[in-house]
Amino acid sequence: MNSDRAIWASLPVPTLIIGPNNEIVDINSAAEGFLNVSAKSVRGVPVWDQIAVNDPLETAFERARGTSTPLFVNDVDVGSGQRAPMQSDLQVAPLLGHPEHMIFMISPRELAGRMTQNHSVKSAAKSAIGMAEMLAHEIKNPLAGITGAAQLLSMNLAAEDLELTDLIVEESRRIVKLLGQVEQFGNLSMPDFQAVNVHDVLDRARRSALLGFGAHMKIIEDYDPSLPMAYGDPDQLLQVVLNLLKNASEATNGKSGQIRLHSYFEHSFRLRRSDGSGQSLPLQIEIIDDGPGLPEAIKDDVFDPFVSGRENGTGLGLALVSKIVSDHSGWISVSSTPGRTVFRISLPRAPKSAQQKQ
């Protein structure tokens, strides 16, 4: 192929060139990242052995080749043996100057959805923070008075009436604890950026989980040992991972389960913001559990404040996670089906200047 390699490498969406016998002739760097393979390893491989589409596409593909016309397919799940399916749009067209060769473009819809989601979550989080500060200030002091009054009353009550004052004290303390979580959500400081080894963060979170809320879970480490340093606040990133591990552990309702901590490098993952600026987010962390999955009713709103799938949940844990990741200029997404829930965090790489300070 006499393609302009600079243009080919710069294409922002996964793109393949397919030969006359449906063999892969070449793939660009975005496709390498999407399929989690190297271009060298898939050249000559039948395209349908490498790419799985949840729609019978072969006949339409051959018709497009035979008639030299473009083919557009929307809203299909596209995956490979190396990655889970992702909802995407497909564009197929003849490659000019190369008879019977087709160019095959995959446009994942995940990023667009996550950009819209992140913008709305940040707006909701700002409103929730204001509410959190107001609630903490206006409610905690009266609650302290109610608790004190109930304890004084209990000193002069018969044993059979103590249950009522004990209930007042217990419920008041529960509300104070909830307000403490609300205050934490509202008062989180900005990250103290430095070079961070994400595996150190994951290990700290794993050990803490196994000694407490995740003692009934099996937590598996699946790390890329060559992963470079991330740029962020290690304590805040630890809080993110702990919250996600806690959610995964509690989703089993005390039954045993498995959580996999997976790290990998995706060099083609780049976010382009609405102002035209770009942000490379190549460091990927996945927290994968085999629990029941997210309730269908909250799947699309799980990062919004006060949305919870648990009966007594505050709905602040994942909102806090989203806020921290956003403050790190990163992205977080979730895909969930019964038996497999994946929270994926994408983070920037630490600049050389930050790494030299270590």
The residue that leads in pLDDT, 252 or 311, is 252
3-state secondary structure of 85: strand
Reference 297, options 336, 326, 332, 331; nearest CA is 336
pLDDT of residue 135: 64
Answer yes or no: is pLDDT of 306 > 70. Answer: no
pLDDT at 2 over 70: no
Mean pLDDT rounded to a whole number for the chain: 81
Average pLDDT, integer, range 118-146: 64
**Where do the H-state alpha helices sit in the chain?**
5-10, 29-35, 39-42, 47-50, 58-67, 110-154, 162-186, 198-210, 234-250, 317-327, 352-356
| Interval 216-222 mean pLDDT | 95
Q: List pLDDT tens digits, range 43-56.
A: 999 998 888 887 77
Q: Are 13 and 92 in contact (CB under 8 A)?
A: no
Please name the residues in contact with 166: beta carbons below 8 A apart, sequence gap of 6 or more. Answer: 154
3-state secondary structure of 153: helix
Q: Average pLDDT of 63-77? A: 87
Query: Which of 15, 52, 55, 17 lies closest to 33 in space, CA to CA?
Result: 15
346 vs 356, more confident: 346
Query: Which position has the higher pLDDT, 157 or 246?
Result: 246
Q: How confident is the model at residue 134 (pLDDT cuts 50, 70, 90)?
A: low
Looking at residue 166, what is its pLDDT? 83
What are the tokens at 312?
């007594």
In angstroms, rounded to a whole number, what is the distance separating the alpha carbons of residues 159 and 149? 17
Q: Is the pLDDT of residue 125 over 70?
A: no
Q: What is the pLDDT of residue 220?
A: 95
With bands split at pLDDT 50, 70 and 90, how would you rate the model's confidence at 116?
very low
3-class DSSP state of 8 = helix
pLDDT in the model for residue 112: 47
Give the pLDDT of residue 279.
Answer: 77
Spatial CA neighbour of 82 closest among 212, 262, 241, 258: 262
Biggest CA–CA distance in the chain, Å, is 95
The least confident of 71-85, 241-255, 263-277 is: 263-277
Q: Specify the DSSP class assigned to residue 349.
A: B
For residues 167 and 160, give the distance between their C-alpha atoms in angstroms, rounded to a whole number.
Answer: 13
Question: In this predicted model, what pLDDT tens digit does every residue of 151-170 receive, in sequence order?
Answer: 888 888 777 778 888 888 88
- Whether the pLDDT of residue 34 is over 90: the answer is no
Q: Which residue has the higher pLDDT, 355 or 16?
A: 16
pLDDT for res 184: 62
Helix axes 317-327, 234-250, angle to 10 degrees: 150
The mean per-residue pLDDT over the stretch 175-193 comes to 70
